[in-house]
Structure 1
C-alpha cells in the first residue's frame, strides 16, 4: 500500500464530513439568512432618508431610530384604520351575503333559464364533506395558528433589529468590508452599494407613490358607481397592482369587478374598462416619469424576475426580485461594451421582399457556374459572357 493512500483517504473523509456539516448548518440557518437578506434590503430602502438626516447634523443611530419610529407610526395607523374599516365592512358583507347570493342566483336563472334556489345551495354547502373537514382542521389547528403568530412576531423583530443595525452602522459595515479588499475592488464594491441603495429606495418610493395614485383613482370610480367597500377595494387595487408586475393590475381589478357585478352587471363592465384605460395611462405616462431615474427594466424581465424570486424565496423573493435585478442590470451596464447599431432595415423588423433581386442573384449564380464549367473544359467563354465580365451588357444589335 502506498504511504500517501491512508492520508488521502482520511483527507477525503474529512472533506465529506465538512461538506455534510456545512450543508446541515446551511439548512438549519436558511430562515435566519432569509431574514438577514430582507433586513439588508430594508436598510437599503431607508438609507437615503437616514443619510439625509445625518447630513443635517443628527447622529446616524438617532436618525435611524426616527425613521423607524415614523415608519412604525405610519404602518400602525394604516393597519388600524384599514383593520377597523375592513372589520366593519366584512361584518356588513357577511350580513348582506344572502342578498348578494339571491341577486346572483336571480341573474343566473334569468339568463340561463335555470331554477336554482338559495336554500338548496345552503343545504349542499352545509352537508358537504370539505366543510366538515375544514371545521375539524380549524378546531385542531388553533395551537398551530398561535405558534405561527408568535413565530411571525419573532421574525419581524429579528428583521427590524438587523435592518436597524445595517442602516445605523452602514458606514462602519462598508469600511469593514472594504478593509479586506484591494483599492480597485473597494471602488467597485462602494459603487455597487450606492447603486443598490438608489435602486431599492427608488423602487419602493416610486411604487408606493403609484399605489397611492392608483388607489385614489379607483376609489373615485367605485364611489361614483356607489359600489360598497370602496375604500378597502381601493387599497387592495393600489397595493396588488403595483407590487405584482405586469398582471397585478388585472388580478387586483378582479375583486372590484366581482363586487360591482353583484350590484349591476354593467358596473362590472365599467370597472373593467377603467382598469384597462388606467393601465395604459400608467404604462405610457405615469410610470415612465416616476421610474425613469430609479428602476427602468423591461416588463418581461420584471415578470420573469418575480417568478424566479417566488420560486427561490417565496413571497420574499417576489418583493426583492425587481430591485435586485435592477441593481444587477445597472452595475453590469458599466462593464458591458456597446456599439452603434447599423442602420439596417432588418434591425427594425423589415424584411426585403424584392423577388426581382432574388431572381437576379439566382441568374448570376447560374451564369457563374456555367463559366466555371466552360473554363474547366478549356472552352472560350461566349461573347455575351465575356462582355458581362467586362461590365458590358449583351450585344442585342442596338447601338
Structure 2
C-alpha cells in the first residue's frame, strides 16, 4: 500500500465530515441568517434618516432610537386601527346573528315546508358533538398560537436588535470591513454600500410618500360616502397598495369595497371606480415623478422579484425583494459596459411591411381610367383651347389641312 494512501483517506474523510458539519450548522442557523439579512436591509432603509439627524449634531445611537420609536408608533397605530375595525365587525356579526338565523330558518321553512324554530336550532347546536370537538380543538390551537406569537415576538426582538446595531454602528462596521481589503477594493465596497443605501432608502421613502397620498385620497372618498371605519380602511389601502406591486391596489381595494357594499351596493361601485382611476393616476403621473431617481425598474421585473422573494423568505422577502433587485441593477449599471445598438426594425419595433394583396387591389380599384391606360410615365394630352376647337389639328372636309393651303 502506498504511503500517501492513508493520509489521502484521512483527508477525504475529514473533508466529508467538515462538509456535513457545515451543512448541518447552516440549516440550524438559517433562521438567524435570514434575520440578519432582513436587519441589514432595514438598517440600509433607515440609514439616510439616521445620517441626516447625525449630521445636525444628534448622536448616532440616539438618532437610530428615534427612528425606531417612530416606526414603533406607526406600527402600533396601524394595528390598533385594523384591530378596532375587525373587533367592530365581529361585534356586529354577533349582535346580528339571531336576525341572520331567523331569516335562514324562515327560508328553510318556506322552501322545504318544515317547522323549525330558532330555539330548537340553538339547542341542537349547543349540545352537538361537533361543537364540543370544535371547542376542544380550539383550546389546543390556542396554545399553539400562543407559542407562535411568543416565537414571533422573539424573532422581532432579534431583528430589531441587529438592525439597531447595523444602523447605529454603520461607520464603524464599514471601517472594520474595509480594514481587511486593499485600497482598490475598499472604494468598490464603499460604492456598493452607498448604492444599496440610496436604492433601499429611496424605495421605502418613495413608497411611504405614495402610501400617504393614496391613504389620504381614499379616506376622503370613504368619509364622503359615509363608509364606516374610513381611517382604518384608508391606512390599509395605502400600505397594501404600495408594498405589493402591480396587483396591490386591487387587493387593497377589495376590503373597502366589501365594507361599502354593506352600506349601499352603489357605494361599492363608487369605490371600484375610484380605485381604478387612482391607479392610472398613480402609474402615469405620480409614480414616475417620485421614483425616477430612486427605483426605476420594469413592472414585470418588480412583480417577478416579489414572487421570488416570497418563495424564499415569505412576506419579508416580498418587502425587500424590490430594493434588492434595484440595488443589483444599479450596481451592474455602474460596472457593466454598454454599447450602441444599430437602428434596425427588430430593435426599434417599427417595421415597414410590404402592402398585402388586398391593399394592392384597393389601390388599383381607386385609380382613374386614364391612369391605368397611360401608365405611370406617360403624360395625358392637354385639352384644346377654345379657339382651336373645330379642327385646328385635324384635316378639313376638302382634304387640305392648314399646311396645304399655304402651299
TM-score, normalised via structure 1 length: 0.78
| Displacement after TM superposition at 1:7 (Å) | 1.5
Q: Which residue number in structure 2 is paired with residue 206 of structure 1?
A: 206
Task: Give the unaligned 5+ runs of structure 2.
Answer: 357-407
State how far apart, in whole Å, the 1-side matches of 2:220 and 2:103 are.
Answer: 25
Change (3 A) 1:143 1:216: same
Residue in 1 that maps onto 2:257: 257
Aligned equivalents of 2:222, 2:285: Cα separation in 1: 23
> How many corresponding residue pairs?
350
CA contact (8 A) 1:309 1:318 kept: yes
1:132 offset after TM fit, Å? 6.9
- Post-superposition shift, 1:84? 4.1
Distance in 2 (CA, whole Å) between partners of 1:215 and 1:104 is 38
Q: Which runs of 5+ in 1 are unaligned?
A: 109-113, 357-399
Q: Would the alpha carbon gap of residues 295 and 94 (structure 1) be closer, same or farther in structure 2, given more than 3 Å must change? A: farther
Query: Kindly tell me: are residues 291 and 131 of structure 1, through their superposed partners in 2, closer, same or farther at Cα, counting changes over 3 Å?
Result: farther
The residue that corresponds to 1:92 in the other structure is: 92
Give the CA deviation at 1:191.
0.7
> Hey, what does 1:111 align to over in structure 2?
none
SS at match of 1:58: coil
Q: Summarize deviations over 1:141-165 as a string: whole Å, max 9, x none.
A: 2222221122112111111111111
Aligned match of 1:154: 154
Instruction: Identify if the C-alpha distance between structure 1 residues 337 and 90 changes in structure 2 by more than 3 Å, giving closer, same or farther.
Output: same
Partner residue, 1:275: 275
TM-fit CA distance, 1:251: 1.0
- Measured in 2, the distance between the counterparts of 1:163 and 1:139 equals 36
Deviation by residue 1:351-390 (Cα, 9 ceiling, x = unmatched) = 332169xxxxxxxxxxxxxxxxxxxxxxxxxxxxxxxxxx
Q: Aligned residue for 1:352?
A: 352
Contact 2:261 2:267 in 1 (8 A): yes
TM-score for the superposition, normalised by structure 2: 0.77
State yes or no: 1:286 paired with 2:286: yes
1:230, distance to aligned residue in structure 2 (A): 2.2
| Preserved contact between residue 103 and residue 262 of structure 1 (Cα < 8 Å) | no
Task: Name 1:325's counterpart in structure 2.
Answer: 325
Quote the RMSD (CA, aligned, Å): 3.3
Secondary structure of the 1:17 match is: helix
1:23-54 alpha-carbon deviations (Å, 9 max, x no partner): 11111111111111111111111111111121
Rg: which structure is higher? 2
Q: Structure 2 vs 1, CA of residues 333 and 255 (structure 1 numbering), >3 Å: closer, same or farther?
A: same
Query: Aligned with 1:334: secondary structure?
Result: helix
Deviation at 1:171, TM superposition (A): 0.7
- Residue 188 of structure 1 deviates from its aligned partner by 1.0
Q: Distance in 2 between matches of 1:239 and 1:325?
A: 20
* Residues 241 and 77 of structure 1: CA distance in aligned 2, closer, same or farther (over 3 Å): closer
Cα distance in 2, alignment partners of residues 183 and 238 from structure 1? 45
The corresponding residue for 2:227 is 227
Contact 1:233 1:255 in 2 (8 A): yes
**Alignment deviations for residues 107-156 of structure 1 (CA, whole Å, 9 cap, x no partner):** x9xxxxx99x9999x97996999977654432112222221122112111
SS at match of 2:9: helix
Q: Is the 8 A contact 1:306 1:319 kept in 2?
A: yes
Is 1:188 aligned to 2:162, yes or no?
Answer: no
Task: Check the 8 A contact 2:105/2:117 in 1, yes or no.
Answer: no
CA distance in 2: counterparts of 1:314 and 1:140, whole angstroms? 26
Q: What is the CA distance between 1:97 and its match in structure 2?
A: 6.3
Q: Which residue of 1 aligns with 2:173?
A: 173
Q: Which residue of 1 aligns with 2:9?
A: 9
Secondary structure, aligned partner of 1:141: helix
Q: Look up the match of 1:393.
A: none
Residues 245 and 299 in structure 2, CA contact (< 8 A), matched pair in contact too = yes
Indicate if the aligned counterparts of 2:78 and 2:232 stay in contact, CA closer than 8 A: no
Partner Cα distance (2:256, 2:202) in 1 = 29
Cross-structure match for 2:245: 245
